[in-house]
Structure 1
């Protein structure tokens, strides 16, 4: 099988909050660090080593261009600072320090980058007159913990991660940021309950874990065009990437093709939570 890996978003940032940053705490304004080199180690070990993969890159981390190209040897790239997006009419929760603008900018920037990267993949397919069997959309700082063999999956489906929440006996969920930092990954606590959130487990929150997605090439083309619907989605409610991913499946008629694979925590996590203490 021929695989396309579309890497998007911020590749490198020390942790200071920025308007077009990728992840930050809306209440404190504290930004979590992004470090692509740790993600690269996991991509190499668990994906690139086991599959025939071509890489495509879109990132606003223009200062990392030379290093990223040398490390991933991508077929095509776009390095550009995020544009300033129109957020008029967008709705967002009041827990964000500047109310509407930063969160909306972050959300729009992500799907803009995904669309541009998927377009690179599509252009490469057209120029070489073929279609990739599977296409994965991923972030630079994802830390895969298990091997991914794409030939074990059906290219007629769209795959997302099981969105796992580990809960204490009192029902209190353990924050993702605390899982490795407090050593929960090494504890043998039989009282911990492995639960799932998001669609289809929580009807009031139809959302998907968004570290990665993959599926057949044409399916991912349709999903990757979420940016075309971003204005509509922003006006519908709080700009959540998790909910937007689910809405795009609905709008594109892909919900019936959704399947779940792998688990957050044990199978795949964010490198920032595995290797860094972002509270400092």
Structure 2
């Protein structure tokens, strides 16, 4: 256990899941430009905060590239597990079962990445003050600052389409930042779904994570924001092809695309 270990003022970044495709969330189409995403993640999160990186991924074909790029302290690459789901037929396109599989798959990857982080803490005799759970497919346009953040809260991305998370009972679940203690508890969500039975969790992942955070934190007042979607970050496939998410046009995705181009040029200069 890590509870009795001293806290080190350092950020651990947990990268997990799959390297998705450029047409939808099921990995269809060509492989996303994960190296451009990595440039912005390194530039605005990892390098300025001197982070330690941990990786769990189902994308075994990209193992060498991801290790080369991110230089993780620990990593684990595994072939995609199905967790009891059969996506060979209609279930693959079922509006809830397909999404539930993606939710379980993603959060089981988060859980295993967090376990790598815990192993490292035990080996080196400290706890990270902060843990950021993140994805491979984000473009990050704003430098992450940990100044004045509250370790009793969880920080997420602000989704302008859902300005009132309590009214909608849903949140944007792209990434999460919190203390090691809070994130250790939060990160077992995949196992929680599997042990409780799929039927109980037949909802959108955005609803599921909202209720998970309310159960964990006791109040939405402890759910706070560090980034604004479209202004500070966005998924690569929507920047590459805004027509895949027409709502993005309402919130400035075309400007996001231009700023992404300028940032990558700046990084490469």
Give the TM-score normalised by structure 2: 0.76
DSSP-derived class of the 1:34 partner: coil
Aligned partners of 1:233 and 1:263: how far apart in 2? Answer: 34
Give 1:199's aligned residue. 165
Following superposition, the deviation at residue 125 of structure 1 comes to 0.7
The alignment's C-alpha RMSD in Å is 2.7
Following superposition, the deviation at residue 227 of structure 1 comes to 1.6
The CA deviation string for residues 84-117 of structure 1, in whole angstroms up to 9 with x for no partner, is 21259xxxxx997345543332221011101111
The CA deviation string for residues 143-189 of structure 1, in whole angstroms up to 9 with x for no partner, is 11111012342222211111113xxxxxxxxxxxxxxxxxxxxxxxx
Instruction: Give the gaps of 5 or more residues in structure 2.
Output: 1-8, 245-269
The change in CA–CA distance for 1:218 and 1:233 in structure 2 (over 3 A counts) is farther
The CA deviation string for residues 53-79 of structure 1, in whole angstroms up to 9 with x for no partner, is 000001110011111111100011110
Give 1:82's aligned residue. 80
Following superposition, the deviation at residue 11 of structure 1 comes to 2.0
Give 1:56's aligned residue. 54
Following superposition, the deviation at residue 198 of structure 1 comes to 5.5
The change in CA–CA distance for 1:77 and 1:95 in structure 2 (over 3 A counts) is closer
Instruction: Give the gaps of 5 or more residues in structure 1.
Output: 18-22, 89-93, 166-195
Give 2:212's aligned residue. 248
Give 2:14's aligned residue. 6
Question: Does residue 113 in structure 1 map to residue 109 in structure 2?
Answer: yes
Give 2:235's aligned residue. 270
After superposing the two structures, state which structure 1 stretch, 151-160 or 61-70, moved more.
151-160
Give 2:136's aligned residue. 140
Native 8 Å contact 1:143 1:270 kept in 2: yes
1:1-280 matched pairs, under 5 angstroms = 1-13=9-21, 15=23, 23-24=25-26, 34-87=32-85, 97-98=93-94, 101-165=97-161, 196-197=162-163, 199-200=165-166, 203=167, 205-231=168-194, 232=196, 234-255=198-219, 257-276=222-241
Length, aligned pairs only: 231
The CA deviation string for residues 183-220 of structure 1, in whole angstroms up to 9 with x for no partner, is xxxxxxxxxxxxx44612xx2x3111012110111111
Give the TM-score normalised by structure 1: 0.74
Following superposition, the deviation at residue 120 of structure 1 comes to 0.8
